[in-house]
Amino acid sequence: MKDFIAGLPKCELHLHIEGTLEPELKFELAGRNGIELPCSSVEELRAAYTFDDLPSFLKIYYEGMQVLRTEPDFYDLAMAYLRKAAEQNVRYAEIFFDPQAHTSRGVPFDLVIRGLRRALMDAEAQLGVRAQLIMCFLRDFQAEYAMATLLESLPYKEWIAGVGLDSDEKGNPPAKFAAVYDRARQEGYLLTMHCDVDQDDAVEHIRQAVEDIGVNRIDHGVNILEDQRLVEVVLERGMGLTCCPISNGYVTDSMKAEGIRKLMDLGVRVTVNSDDPAYFAGYVQENLEALQDALQLSREELAQLERNAFEITWLPRHVKDAYL
Ligand code: HPA
Ligand code: ZN
């Protein structure tokens, strides 16, 4: 089965590029930028990755990305991920980036997006992996800052497929960003947002995302199973969910494999993704293996998960069809 999963053409739809920063590259960038890290070895750094919920993970995630300063840093970060993706037979990826995690510490938006974009272009030419960017707003910052970031992104619109919403969900419901999402839609961006697993008011957040904001898909969203009516809306609209089993196991008490199974059985376009693979120790292949292990998925079911993913990509129909 491992070989079957390895050979399967894959699609990654829930991946934070800053969450692919492996300790080795972190040390390299720290050295290049003259930054002193609190740990002296890769092993020590990895051992310090201790978290058991979303806020404790986010603290380490934001600390880690302080080493990203220059355009080549962002290029190297994305290129390292795309090389890994190519090794795992990922054919297409939609990649989140968090501009506010950089602009808020004085790193210009322009430099971030140019580095990422250049890597995407080189990866397509050199590795045959195609990818697009999704710009995420940090929901624990004010909505006004998200709006300013949206406006700042407009000159680069051709390089951004859509917008997302991530970071700490507690007390930061989708409704807080209704005006930002309205404007993003007007500007032609496609829309997604995190509804993280087992958060306070999880179902109400999913309801707002689906019914009030009108997102095109949901990141995580497993708690939708608690509301039959919302499941029906998602089925009717053919909406996709980007689930991340190994990540779930880190920030909640389980991978939520049974929930993912239920969503598959209901016919929801559920997909398997890696979220922050450098921190959760698993790229998309390891996530598929973990889920297969838990659920004894058949080859046909594994193939269906990838068909779901290609189907819900933000690619034009004819490009999508070439993957299916
Ligand atoms: N949830 C919310 N925000 C994030 C995550 C996540 O899993 N990863 C990076 N930012
Ligand atoms: Zn995520």
DSSP per residue, 229-258: HHHHHHHHHT-EEEE-HHHHHHHSSS--HH
Residue nearest to atom 7 of ligand 1 (CA): 275
pLDDT surpasses 90 at 35: yes
Banded model confidence at residue 179, pLDDT cuts 50, 70, 90: very high
- Asked whether residue 121 is domain-assigned, the answer is yes
Banded model confidence at residue 218, pLDDT cuts 50, 70, 90: very high
Closest ligand 1 atom, CA of 98?
10
Ligand 1 center–CA 193 separation, angstroms: 10
CATH number of residue 192's parent domain: 3.20.20.140
Question: According to the model, what pLDDT value does residue 66 have?
Answer: 97
Ligand 2 center–CA 294 separation, angstroms: 21
| pTM, 2 dp | 0.98
pLDDT tens sequence across 104-116? 999 999 999 999 9
Ligand 1 center–CA 232 separation, angstroms: 26
Residues 6+ apart with CB under 8 A from 121: none
Tally of domains within the chain:
1
When the pLDDT of each residue in the chain is averaged and rounded to a whole number, the result is 97
- Asked whether residue 262 is domain-assigned, the answer is yes
Ligand 1 center–CA 16 separation, angstroms: 7
Pocket of ligand 1 (CB under 6 A): 16, 19, 54, 61, 166-167, 194, 196, 247, 275-276
Residue nearest to atom 4 of ligand 1 (CA): 167
Share of the chain above pLDDT 70, in %: 100
What is the largest distance, in Å, between two alpha-carbon atoms of the chain?
Answer: 54
Question: According to the model, what pLDDT value does residue 129 have?
Answer: 98
Question: According to the model, what pLDDT value does residue 193 have?
Answer: 98
pLDDT tens sequence across 78-90? 999 999 999 999 9
- Asked whether residue 54 is domain-assigned, the answer is no
- Asked whether residue 61 is domain-assigned, the answer is no
Question: According to the model, what pLDDT value does residue 67 have?
Answer: 98
Banded model confidence at residue 52, pLDDT cuts 50, 70, 90: confident
pLDDT tens sequence across 271-288? 999 999 999 999 999 999
ipTM of the complex in this document: 0.96
Question: According to the model, what pLDDT value does residue 55 have?
Answer: 95
Residue 276 marked ligand-binding: yes
Residue nearest to atom 10 of ligand 1 (CA): 167
- Asked whether residue 42 is domain-assigned, the answer is no
Ligand 1 center–CA 203 separation, angstroms: 18
Q: Which ligand is nearest to the CA of 242?
A: 2
- Asked whether residue 302 is domain-assigned, the answer is yes
Q: Which ligand is nearest to the CA of 273?
A: 2
Segment 311-319 shows an average pLDDT of: 97
Question: According to the model, what pLDDT value does residue 173 have?
Answer: 98
Residues 6+ apart with CB under 8 A from 322: none
pLDDT surpasses 90 at 242: yes
- Asked whether residue 180 is domain-assigned, the answer is yes
Domain span at 104:
2-17+74-323
On the 0-12 / 13-18 / 19+ scale of CB atoms within 10 A, 272 is buried
- Asked whether residue 109 is domain-assigned, the answer is yes
Long-range (24+ apart) CB contacts under 8 A made by 220-225 are: 220/14, 220/194, 220/195, 220/196, 220/244, 220/248, 221/195, 222/197, 222/248, 222/256, 222/259, 222/260, 222/263, 223/195, 223/197, 223/198, 223/199, 224/195, 224/263, 224/268, 225/259, 225/262, 225/263
Question: According to the model, what pLDDT value does residue 149 have?
Answer: 99
pLDDT surpasses 90 at 178: yes
Question: Ligand 1 pocket test: which of 12, 13, 54 has the largest number of ligand atoms within 8 Å of its C-beta?
Answer: 54
296 φ/ψ sector (left φ>0, alpha ψ -120 to 50, else beta)? left
